[in-house]
Amino acid sequence: MKRTIGLTLALTMTLMAGVAHAADKVTLQLKWVAQAQFAGYFVAKDKGFYEEAGLDVEIKPGGPDIAPEQVIAGGGADVIVDWMGGALAAREKGVGLVNIAQPYKKAGMELVCPADGPIKTEADFKGHTLGVWFYGNEYPFFAWMNKLGLSTEGGADGVTVLKQSFDVQPLIQKQADCISVMTYNEYWQLIDAGYKPEDLIVFNYSEMGNDLLEDGLYAMEDKLKDPAFAETMVKFVKASMKGWEYAIANPDEAAGIVMDNGGQDENHQKRMMGEVAKLIGEPDAKLIPEAYERTAKALLDQKIITKQPEGAWTSEITDKM
């Protein structure tokens, strides 16, 4: 009888211990498809960094018809990767997004034009067609045009905006005089298509001081009020940045892990990983307040948002790492 009781108690304690140490489930929604742009998260999962932190993380890829803001608002994710412009616009519309970490210190957005084309400087934009992606990616472009005092409604004194496909075909097919690219992605698609660096005029948003924050991590304000959820986010961000640190130090392995998770073209992923590392810099995930202020001001100036955001970012998560 004593032996039976002892076995029962031991089994009960084992089960209780299992429950006590059950991993916290976290769903991460990416802004785009699986690629080295998000390598740190895939690496953190593959290398067991999330598991070591007591987390069970599901990584959901994005795509052209997936808006991370809508996914998290509908309860389909706990945390999302998003650009600050889209996040602030969604916040003003009632989606309580809060930036909890900012892995990317610099923006990767550029506008490129053929060197043998009509545009050499910003002064040449008038009367021409410029391509830009939408779905929240257009805000940096419109902020830049607003800064230059250029109408985006066309005409001789403005620019015509082409809603660009998520590739470089509009430039190759001469549908636009210049198109938008990312330093780590579409720029290299142009190189692979036969362009040489000297064949392109490049307007880099970061170098021009027109960059708005990209690829931050966002959670819902109401959920962050729960201390248990906030602590889970601390563990998630810390493990994610461990993944980024590993990916930056081991770019080829990181590219292979991305490929295992649905990435395309391993050589492209390796090259992308190198370019992404330049944008992340020191992998501490700390938001630079001046960059946030620049982003918010640009959106206010364009009237994309109508009032100064309050509580749109917090350092409480990264301060505890």
Give every CB contact of residue 97 below 8 A, 6+ residues apart in sequence: 69, 72, 80, 82, 87, 90, 91, 218, 219, 220, 221, 312
* 109-208 has the same fold as 24-106+213-319: yes
Q: What residue ranges do the domains of the chain occupy?
A: 24-106+213-319, 109-208
pLDDT reading at 17 higher than 80: no
Q: What is the CATH number of domain 109-208?
A: 3.40.190.10
199-246 pLDDT, tens digit each: 999 999 999 988 899 999 999 999 999 999 999 999 999 999 999 999
- pLDDT at residue 244 in the model: 98
Who's near 135: CB < 8 A, 6+ residues apart? 64, 67, 86
Residue 283, pLDDT above cutoff 60: yes
pLDDT per position as a tens digit, 94-113? 999 999 999 999 999 999 99
Residue ranges of the alpha helices (H) in the chain?
A: 2-20, 39-46, 49-52, 68-73, 84-92, 139-148, 169-172, 186-192, 205-208, 221-224, 227-249, 251-260, 266-280, 289-302, 316-319
CATH of the domain spanning 24-106+213-319, picked from 2.60.120.560, 3.40.190.10, 1.10.260.40, 3.40.50.1820: 3.40.190.10
What is the separation of C-alpha 64 from the centre of its chain, rounded to a whole number of angstroms? 14
Structure-token pair, residue 4: 């039976």
| 59 pLDDT more than 70 | yes
User: Is the CB of residue 148 less than 8 Å from the CB of residue 301?
Assistant: no
Per-residue DSSP letter, 151: B
| Stated pTM of the model | 0.90
pLDDT in tens, 67-103: 999 999 999 999 999 999 999 999 999 999 999 999 9
* Per-residue pLDDT reduced to its tens digit, 118-161: 999 999 999 999 999 988 889 999 999 999 999 999 999 999 99
